[in-house]
Amino acid sequence: MKSWLKSLPAKDVAKVTESNIKFEENKSKIVFENKGNKTCYKINVDGGVVTDNELRCDKMLVDEALAAFYYVELKGENIEHAIRQLEASLKRPALTPVCAKSKTSIAVGKNHFPKTSTLIQRNVKLFKKAYGATLEVLSTPARKSI
């Protein structure tokens, strides 16, 4: 994992150990509850690690000890687009190194979508089968324990 982290621009990676790790953008917010104050890395993907015009998620959080990768897309309302951005991120080798033991994709948006929609259920299955990742759609402000 260390070599993968070193391959990223240092300005876009922050080592953190606080108990609440927050990402906020587009009036959407998620707080990762890091109860054990584990070493994690906050990664600025959109406009940071990835600067091309292709789809990608906004942020990533990596739990160093577990090699758990969390892909985060903070959206206002267009959850379908958020899911496409998360999927595109999982397809990028630079964002999905072989050292990743688990991958969780999280779309955070306003509470204007049914979490049990066929769109979401279809993509939950796709993410698991095609990418070995889980997909979660959460309403802002969201909380997630790591």
Tens-place pLDDT, residues 93-120? 989 999 899 999 999 988 766 667 888 8
What's the pLDDT at 11?
95
Pair of tokens at residue 9: 């621009």
Strands 40-44 and 59-63: antiparallel
Pair of tokens at residue 140: 């802002």
Whether this model's pTM surpasses 0.85: yes
CATH number assigned to the domain with residue range 2-145, chosen from the 4 options 2.60.40, 3.40.1350, 1.10.357, 3.30.420: 3.40.1350
Pair of tokens at residue 87: 């999927």
Task: Kindly list the domain boundaries of the chain, sorted by start residue.
Answer: 2-145
Q: How confident is the model at residue 83 (pLDDT cuts 50, 70, 90)?
A: very high
Calpha distance 79→47 (Å, rounded): 20
Calpha distance 19→49 (Å, rounded): 25
Secondary structure (3-state) at 79? helix
Calpha distance 31→23 (Å, rounded): 6
